[in-house]
Amino acid sequence: MKIIIVGCGKVGRTIAEQLSQENHEIVVIDKDAEGLNEFTDTLDIIGIPGNGAADTVLAEAGVDKADLLIAVTPTDELNLLCCLIAKKMGVKSTIARVRNPEYSREMSLVQEDLGLSMAINPELTAAQEMARLVRFPAAIKIDSFAKGRVEIFKMMVQEKSPLDGLRIRDISAEVHFHVLVCVIERGADVFIPTGEFVIQKGDRISVVAPHKQTAKFFKWAGALSGRINNMMIVGGGNISYYLADRLLDDGIKVKIIEQGHERCEELSELLPKASVLQGSHSDHQLLLEEGLESTDAIASLTEYDEDNVLLSLYAAAKSKAKIITKVNSSSLSEIVSEMPVGSLISPRLITAERILRYVRAMQNTVGSNVETLYKMADNRVEALEFRVRTNMSLLGSPLMELRLKKNLLIACINRKGKIIIPGGQDTIEMGDTVIVVTTNTGLSDLSDIIES
């Protein structure tokens, strides 16, 4: 596919890198010619300096022959304008990043009127993920499938956990309902485990379970903490606003600490039920006075990754709170993944995931669409949800008879709302949605799971 990306910031670069790895023809447009050249020199992609909303620049990029245009400049209005003009010039599909909360409230209307294929709000999506983590404090990460009926959650196996020393095939018998451990991270190693794999303390395991059984599993594993009743949010950006708004609706008390006086006033008006304080996130005495040691959860959401990491490390030393840390830098994420900074959230990667999911679905709009896609284990594993739309050779055959690719698990089958954690005798049928977890990245159709 030919894909044009307008905006060569962190998000644009991440999207370009991932799509380039999947052998798409990528053109990147940005006003910063020097930064653009520096980036495109490292990848097999084309860079065009200029304004992505200018018809001459879009024509030079070949917009009339492009399958998709993605606008991720820092300005919402420019992103929307780029998509509108590109659509008029013949591009098949358009995606715009729109971050302003005022636009988000009317996004369905904006999307329809401008003919957008997708509008993405990274901050809102990140806040929604954080809110899920607050529901289960023991979880490091939670992703949902099958319209919320199925979850994949990551947790750390603690000392004296019943999981320590247990074979994967024996877990369902111990908990008395079906779950599946689909990924194990042990140190720097990542495994798609077989039933004989033995779990050890310190492992980070990703588990597939029906939504209704998630709490039961945490309780059995000895990892179900009490309900979070209050949360401290440090930093007053859009993510903080979206998260606080959601938490307050759930009856959770929220305290926001923000440095800027004007932003504090804005947040006080937008969130009258929240406690908004002006202060520096590096003022440890202030954090202690405002209840850091006793808070149930803390989210480090300032503009700077390094500050967020340092703040979370301090919080881990001073409290037993559930910790959430915003980190956009992939290199920093790798460095701190073993540190006690709680759940790492990257709006940039969340945006790239959603766009990658859409592109995969565009590649196969007949056989089995990619409906959901998540990156796991530092992008080394993908969890994909396919919907079976047409007949294919693997349908009706017991899973144990299929020649599946190595390092691949069929983790779940959703059949008309019935959630199946499959065994060897189960089959895939027409109309099912199927969750696949694999280190074989780049799958775009369910038939890709079979060894050629």
pLDDT per residue over 319-374, tens digit each?
Answer: 999 999 999 887 787 788 778 899 999 998 888 888 888 888 777 655 557 888 88
Which domains are delineated in the chain?
A: 2-120 (3.40.50.720), 127-220 (3.30.70.1450), 231-345 (3.40.50.720), 350-449 (3.30.70.1450)
> Amino acid identity of 386?
F
Predicted TM-score (pTM) of this structure: 0.81
Alpha carbon distance 276, 305 (integer Å):
22
Q: Which residues contact 281 (CB under 8 A, 6 or more apart)?
A: 234, 235, 257, 259, 287, 300, 302, 307, 311
> CA angle, 32 as apex, 31 and 34 as ends, to 5°?
145
b/e per residue, 273-282, with b = 16+ CB within 10 A?
Answer: ebebbbbebe
In whole angstroms, give the CA distance from residue 112 to residue 445: 28
Tell me what pLDDT residue 367 has. Answer: 55
pLDDT at 225: 62
> C-alpha angle 352/356/360, rounded to 5°?
175
CA-to-CA distance for 288 and 111, rounded, in angstroms?
44
Beta bridge partners of 28: 5, 47
| Helix H or strand E encompassing 244 | helix 238-249
What's the rounded Cα separation, in Å, for the pair 319 and 419? Answer: 38
Q: Are 211 and 151 in contact (CB under 8 A)?
A: yes
Q: In Å, what is the CA distance from 225 to each residue of 133, 135, 221, 257, 321?
A: 12, 10, 11, 25, 10
Q: Show Cβ contacts of residue 289 under 8 Å, excluding neighbours closer than 6 positions.
A: none
Residues in the chain: 452
pLDDT at site 365: 53
> What's phi and psi for 216, nearest 5 deg?
-60, -40
Q: Look at residues 252, 162, 248 and name the one whose alpha carbon lies nearest to residue 205.
A: 162
> CA separation (Å) from 338 to 26, 150, 277, 333?
34, 27, 31, 9
Stretches in the chain below the pLDDT threshold 50: none
DSSP 133-147: HHHSTT-SEEEEEGG
Is residue 145 within 8 A of residue 385, CB to CB? The reply is yes
Structure confidence at residue 18 (pLDDT): 87
- Would you say the C-alpha torsion 247, 131, 355, 430 has a positive or negative sign? negative
User: What are the tens digits of pLDDT across the range 226-241?
Assistant: 789 999 999 999 999 9
- Residue 199's pLDDT is 96
Largest CA distance in the chain: 65
pLDDT at position 100: 84
